[in-house]
A and B are shown apart, each in its own frame.
Chain A
């Protein structure tokens, strides 16, 4: 279980929510099939693999979606370099199935997801209801999900597991979404999501570091200890405005807080415009994210067992990141006669600059512990996919 793969179940649930409640409540989602190849490269890790997502509607009442993806992770993150661990080669496989049922202006949704890797399995079920009202000006969606994870631990280069290590994580998610037409040019949305987790919430491989002794300039490493529960809340607002020419601008803001004392803010701006007689559509995005550190996080503890809970996960460190993205989709086939109505090729690129404010580059052992420069890295995310609409 790498830091990259730490939250597969949450990601699966998020993707399922996107897929299943992304459409308005009184119309079934578009029938389409997507085949994608995506890569992530940053922080010493490379992740790449294919994904397939298919959605088919039946009798204008039922919509079924199915997805499958594989992520192959190679390389070594800074945590692994500090601990002297050998480079990673992991595979994660994810499957999902969703059903939407349309009745009047209400859509009922249900889905299951499964994510399997060598040392982390997760299963999630979700259900939701979405209702259009007030002359279709307003759509309200409510969703719940329940997840069960099994955490195990690999103990040697042959990828054998520790037979005495098997932990559980239970997860519940509640979400509320409101989408609102404000004017003939302006859409707005509100989203709230609460997540509670209970169980083994840490990474069995990651370690804290602490000073070897009073006044020492070298550090030793020891096991992390996390609380057994975490509850988080996210509140998000979004608006989308149709500009005087055929283009739109989108603004999003999210505020997040949890019982580990993490507070985070996210702001996003996007611009969308079609070109070439509507055959090409382009998006430009900018995203800013910042958070403070968890209450039990420290880059360098003063001594072992300094406190009950101790973590040195950079995900829990104070950080900010800036990301710029560009996306292009080109419709190379449009037809009203064929079974296939439209086919398009898309390329998405995101460049993310991660900057940590209290997570130091501990690989620089020539420097006294606690004086190393703050860690930072840049990541490239590329997604290429082919979409067929039928």
Chain B
């Protein structure tokens, strides 16, 4: 089984297992540290975009750097 297929199956299994009633195990009032700017996945998009550009022009690999859905999810 390819790594891609395995990864997708694991992701789907995680999603399916989460379809029931999930109680947040980290309450909103417990997310102070996660909201700190030292925990930001992406602090300066303009800088990250450029270094990604530099790397992708010199390496065979590309993608997977989307940082998608970043942030702490706290209010």
- Asked whether A and B interact, the reply is yes
Binding site for B on A (CB under 8 A): 3-7, 10-11, 14-15, 17-19, 21-27, 34, 36, 38, 40, 51, 53, 67, 128, 130, 132-141, 143, 173, 175-179, 181-185, 187, 189-195, 232-236, 238, 240, 242, 246-248, 254-258, 260, 262, 264, 266, 272-274, 281, 289, 291, 294, 315-316, 319, 321, 325, 327, 329, 346, 348, 350, 352, 354, 379, 381, 383, 385, 387
Chain B positions 16 through 41: 1 when the CB is less than 8 Å from some CB of chain A, otherwise 0? 00100011111010110110111101
Closest to A287 in B: B55
CB-based contact A289/B47 at 8 Å? no
Q: Determine how close the nearest CB of chain A comes to the CB of B46; give it in whole angstroms.
A: 4
Cross-chain contact A254 with B50 (CB below 8 angstroms): no
Known contacts A178-B11, A381-B54; A235 and B3 CB within 8 A of each other: yes
Interface size class, chain B = 35 or more
B1 within 8 A of partner (CB): no
A67 to chain B, nearest CB (A): 8
Bound-complex Cα distance A218 to B8 (A): 50
B71 touches A23 (CB 8 A): yes
Tally of A-B Cβ pairs under 8 angstroms: 267
* Chain A nearest Cβ from B19, distance in angstroms: 10
B69, A130: Cβ atoms closer than 8 Å: yes
With both beta carbons as reference points, the residue of chain A lying nearest to B32 in the complex is identified as A184
A189, B41: Cβ atoms under 8 Å?
A: yes
Q: Does chain A have a CB within 8 A of B13?
A: no
Contact indicator B67/A22 (Cβ below 8 Å): yes
Tell me if B74 and A136 are in contact (CB < 8 A). Answer: yes
Given contacts A130-B68, A143-B68, A242-B38, contact A195 B62 (CB under 8 A): yes
B24 lies within 8 A of A137 (CB): yes
Tell me whether B62 and A346 are in contact (CB under 8 A).
Answer: no
Listed from nearest, the 10 A-B pairs whose CB atoms lie closest are: A177-B68, A234-B64, A135-B24, A24-B71, A15-B49, A193-B63, A139-B69, A179-B69, A256-B61, A141-B68
- Determine how close the nearest CB of chain B comes to the CB of A377; give it in whole angstroms: 10
Contact A7 B57 (CB under 8 A): yes
Nearest to A294 among chain B residues (CB) is B60
Evaluate contact between B73 and A136: CB separation under 8 angstroms.
yes
Q: Is the CB of B18 within 8 A of A193?
A: no
User: Contacts A27-B71, A134-B22, A190-B11; is A18 near B60 (CB within 8 Å)?
Assistant: no
> Given A19-B45, A385-B47, A175 and B38 touching (CB < 8 A)?
no
Q: Is the CB of A38 within 8 A of B18?
A: no
> Pick the contact of B47 from A248, A264, A321, A327 — CB < 8 Å?
A327
- Which of B15, B23, B34, B54 is in CB contact (< 8 Å) with A181? B34
Residue of B nearest to A387 (CB): B44
Q: Within the complex, what minimum Cβ distance (angstroms) separates A320 from chain B? A: 10
B57 to A262, Cβ gap below 8 A? no
Contact A183 B52 (CB under 8 A): no
Q: List 17 A-B contacts (CB under 8 A).
A: A4-B57, A51-B50, A135-B24, A136-B74, A137-B22, A139-B73, A175-B63, A177-B69, A181-B74, A187-B41, A232-B62, A242-B34, A262-B61, A291-B60, A329-B44, A383-B51, A385-B44
